[in-house]
C-alpha cells in the first residue's frame, strides 16, 4: 500500500482561536500582536479579513494599523493556544496513532493504515476538517502526499489558496503543479539559498530537479543532494511521534524592553538567561558541552551583533557555569554598542545520568543546590527564588515568568 501523509495546518491559528473564543469578533478584522510598549509590537497572526486589507505576519503593529485601522487588536494568550493545539492533536489521533507535531499549528499524519476505516485520502481529509472545526472552531488546510515533503508543499502552495483547503500532490501531478513554482516556494529553501540558486540560473523548482546533482553536492555537500531530492519529490523520513524527544540544544532569547548599553545591565540579562537555560536542561535530565551567545544591536538600519560559541571542558547543567562561559564570550566579541536582544543556548546535550566527575568543580554540592532551587520554583513559581540582580531595573525575570515563548500566557 502506498504511503499517504497529511500536513494539517491551522488557518491563522492564533487569530482563529481568538475568534472561536469570542463570537463578537466574528465578521471583523482581527490582529494578534505583541505588546508595543515592550518593543514586541509585531504581528503574530492576522485573520483573513485583516490580510485582505494588506496586513502581514511579522510586520510592526503601527504599520498594520495604517493598513487596517478598524482591526481589533488582541494580545496573544500562549497558554490558550497550546491548549487548543493539544486538543487538535487529540482529534487527529482519532484517525491515526502516527501524529507528529511540526509546530504549534502544523502536524504531520500518516494515514496509510487508516484508509480501510475512514475512506480514501480525500474523504479522510474532509472528515478531519469537519472534526477540527466542530471541536475547536478552527479551520484547517490539508496537504496530501506520499511523503512529508510533498504533503508540506501541497499544503503551503496549494491547499492554503484553494476553496476546499485540501490538495494532493504526488508523482502524477508533481511536474505539472510543483515544478513551475518559484524556487523560493520549495520547502527547505530560505531567502539566502534562493539567492544562491538564482545566481546559478535556477529560478523554478523544476530547474533544480533537472540540475546535475553532482554539481549541487560539490557546492553544498549532502545538503545539495537533499535539495535536489526535495525538488524531485523524494523524502524517506517517516512520520514519528518521537521527533521532539531527543533535543540537540536548549536555549532562550529575549527582546529587551529598552536598549541595554552598559556591561552591568547586560550582565544581568545574561545571568537570567543562563539560569533559565540551566533549569530547562535539568528538567529534561541533560547536560551540555557547548555554550552559544547571540546578541542583536539596537540599530535596524545598520545591523550589528554577533553569534559565538565555546566548548566547555566538562558538560554542565548549572547556571553559573553557563553564565561564566557566556559572559566571557560576550566580553570578547561585544562592540560596545547598545543591544536590543540577547540569547543563550546550551548544545551538544547528553544524558545527565552519567558524567565525568571533576576534583575541582564541586559538582555534587552544586547538584544539591540546584535541585533545591528547582523544587522551590516548581512548588511556588519561577520567581519564588531569584538572584538579587533580577531586582534591579535591568532584571527581566519577573516579566519573563508571566510569558510563554516570549509572549504573555
Res 6: pLDDT: 98
Res 409: pLDDT: 58
Residue-wise pLDDT for 93-114, tens only, equals 999 999 999 999 999 999 999 9
The percent of residues above 70 in pLDDT, for the chain, comes to: 92
Res 38: pLDDT: 57
Give the residue numbers marked as catalytic. 106
H-run or E-run covering 212: none
Give the number of other Cβ atoms within 10 Å of residue 103's Cβ.
10
Res 365: pLDDT: 75
Q: Which CATH number fits domain 1-167: 3.90.79.10, 2.40.30.10, 3.40.50.12780, 3.30.70.270?
A: 3.30.70.270
Q: Is 105 annotated as a binding residue?
A: yes
The percent of residues above 90 in pLDDT, for the chain, comes to: 66
What is the CATH superfamily name and number for domain 179-231? Answer: 5' to 3' exonuclease, C-terminal subdomain (1.10.150.20)
pLDDT at residue 298 tops 90: no
Hey, what's the cell of 159?
Answer: 491547499
Res 357: pLDDT: 58
pLDDT at residue 254 tops 90: no
H-run or E-run covering 148: helix 148-153
Class of domain 249-408: alpha beta
Q: Which positions ≥6 away from 176 have C-beta within 8 Å? A: none
What whole-number distance in Å separates Cα of residue 194 and Cα of residue 205? 11
Report the pLDDT averaged over residues 351-359: 67
Res 352: pLDDT: 79
User: Got the DSSP string for 263-279?
Assistant: HHHHHHHHHHHHHHHHH
On whether the pTM is more than 0.85, the answer is no
Average pLDDT of the chain to the nearest whole number? 89
Report the pLDDT averaged over residues 386-393: 84
Q: pLDDT band at residue 188, thresholds of 50, 70 and 90? A: confident
Q: Is 156 annotated as a binding residue?
A: no
| Distant-in-sequence contacts of 388-391, Cβ < 8 A, 24+ apart | 389/267, 389/268, 389/271, 389/272, 390/268, 390/272
pLDDT at residue 228 tops 90: yes
pLDDT at residue 271 tops 90: yes
Give the start-to-end residue ranges of the domains of the chain.
1-167, 179-231, 249-408
pLDDT at residue 149 tops 90: yes
Amino acid at each position: 500500500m502506498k504511503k499517504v501523509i497529511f500536513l494539517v495546518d491551522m488557518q491563522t491559528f492564533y487569530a482563529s482561536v481568538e475568534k472561536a473564543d469570542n463570537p463578537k469578533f466574528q465578521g471583523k478584522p482581527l490582529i494578534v500582536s505583541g505588546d508595543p510598549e515592550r518593543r514586541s509590537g509585531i504581528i503574530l497572526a492576522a485573520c483573513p479579513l485583516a490580510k485582505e486589507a494588506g496586513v502581514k505576519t511579522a510586520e510592526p503593529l503601527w504599520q498594520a494599523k495604517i493598513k487596517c485601522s478598524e482591526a481589533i487588536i488582541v494580545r496573544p494568550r500562549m497558554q490558550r493556544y497550546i491548549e487548543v493545539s493539544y486538543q487538535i492533536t487529540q482529534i487527529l489521533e482519532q484517525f491515526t496513532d502516527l501524529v507528529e507535531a511540526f509546530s504549534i499549528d502544523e502536524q504531520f499524519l500518516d494515514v496509510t493504515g487508516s484508509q480501510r476505516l475512514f475512506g480514501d485520502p480525500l474523504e479522510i481529509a474532509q472528515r478531519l476538517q469537519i472534526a477540527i472545526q466542530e471541536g475547536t472552531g478552527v479551520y484547517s488546510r490539508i496537504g496530501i502526499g506520499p511523503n512529508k515533503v510533498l504533503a508540506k508543499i501541497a499544503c503551503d502552495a496549494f491547499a492554503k489558496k484553494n476553496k476546499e483547503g485540501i490538495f494532493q500532490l504526488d508523482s502524477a501531478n508533481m511536474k505539472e503543479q510543483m515544478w513551475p513554482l518559484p524556487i523560493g516556494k520549495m520547502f527547505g529553501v530560505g531567502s539566502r539559498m534562493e539567492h544562491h540558486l538564482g545566481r546559478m540560473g535556477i529560478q523554478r523548482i523544476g530547474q533544480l530537479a533537472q540540475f546535475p546533482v553532482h554539481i549541487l553536492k560539490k557546492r553544498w555537500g549532502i545538503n545539495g543532494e537533499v535539495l535536489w531530492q526535495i525538488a524531485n519529490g523524494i523524502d524517506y523520513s517517516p512520520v514519528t511521534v518521537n521527533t521532539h524527544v531527543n533535543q540537540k540544544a536548549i536555549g532562550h532569547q529575549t527582546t529587551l524592553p529598552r536598549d541595554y548599553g552598559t556591561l552591568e545591565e547586560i550582565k544581568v540579562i545574561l545571568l537570567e538567561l543562563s539560569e533559565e537555560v540551566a533549569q530547562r536542561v535539568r528538567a529534561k535530565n541533560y547536560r551540555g558541552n557547548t555554550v552559544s551567545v547571540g546578541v542583536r544591536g539596537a540599530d535596524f538600519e545598520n545591523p550589528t551583533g554577533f553569534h559565538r560559541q565555546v566548548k566547555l571542558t566538562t558538560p554542565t547543567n548549572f547556571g553559573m557555569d553557563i553564565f561564566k562561559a557566556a559572559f566571557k564570550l560576550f566580553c570578547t566579541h561585544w562592540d560596545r554598542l547598545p543591544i536590543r536582544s540577547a540569547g543563550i543556548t546550551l548544545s551538544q546535550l547528553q544524558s545527565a545520568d552519567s558524567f565525568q566527575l571533576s576534583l575541582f568543580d564541586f559538582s555534587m554540592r552544586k547538584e544539591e543546590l540546584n535541585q533545591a532551587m528547582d523544587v522551590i520554583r516548581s512548588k511556588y513559581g519561577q520567581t519564588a527564588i531569584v538572584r538579587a540582580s533580577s531586582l534591579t531595573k535591568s532584571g527581566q525575570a519577573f516579566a519573563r515568568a508571566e510569558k510563554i515563548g516570549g509572549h504573555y500566557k
